[in-house]
């Protein structure tokens, strides 16, 4: 006979019977530690690793304190790279083909027939 109980229900029954609860032990995260990590420009993942807790625990504590999310450096670098990338000037035929391709559904076989000669020409030109 199988019992269908959620994990929380099992833990609740174990506590009532004075048995130890299986699973992770809760790690207390102090507000001061979260504030220090946030002031050091750590994001949730880095702060959680520093304090030895789960990312969701760190994020919840940060939200309780009303602190905003610090983005990781690689996200800032990627955004800066995207902003500094010059716009690519396409040949008029390729620009038309690309705009037509967006009007078609992805499964439409016309996309390949439409783009193939233009992509081959652009690849040959840039190689």
Average pLDDT over residues 81-91: 61
**Which DSSP category does 56 fall into?**
H
Do residues 32 and 76 share a domain? yes
% of the chain residues with pLDDT over 70: 61
Sign of CA dihedral 28, 30, 35, 40: negative
Do residues 37 and 74 share a domain? yes
44 in Cβ contact with 68 (< 8 Å): no
Residue 11 has pLDDT above 80, yes or no: no
Q: What is the pLDDT of residue 84?
A: 55
How many whole angstroms separate alpha carbon 83 and alpha carbon 55?
30
How many whole angstroms separate alpha carbon 96 and alpha carbon 115?
10
Average pLDDT over residues 83-106: 66
Average pLDDT over residues 22-45: 83
Task: Give the domain extent around 48.
Answer: 27-82
Does a structural domain hold residue 76? Answer: yes
Do residues 32 and 62 share a domain? yes
Domain count, the chain: 2
DSSP-assigned letters across all residues of 86-124? PPPPPPHHHHHHHHHHHHS-TT-THHHHHHHHHHHHHHH
How many whole angstroms separate alpha carbon 53 and alpha carbon 4?
30
Average pLDDT over residues 97-118: 69
Tell me what percent of the chain is helix, strand and coil, each rounded to the nearest 5.
60, 0, 40
């Amino acid at each position: 006979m199988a019992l269908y109980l959620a994990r929380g229900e099992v833990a609740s029954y174990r506590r009532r019977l004075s048995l130890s609860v299986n699973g992770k032990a809760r790690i207390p995260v102090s507000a001061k530690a979260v504030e220090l990590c946030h002031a050091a420009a750590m994001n949730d993942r880095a702060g959680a690793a520093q304090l030895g807790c789960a990312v969701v625990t760190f994020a919840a504590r940060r939200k309780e304190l009303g602190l905003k999310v610090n983005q990781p450096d690689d996200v800032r670098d990627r955004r800066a790279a995207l902003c500094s990338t010059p716009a690519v000037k396409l040949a008029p035929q390729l620009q038309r083909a690309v705009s037509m391709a967006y009007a078609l559904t992805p499964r439409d076989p016309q996309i390949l027939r439409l783009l193939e000669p233009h992509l081959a020409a652009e690849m040959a030109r840039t190689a």
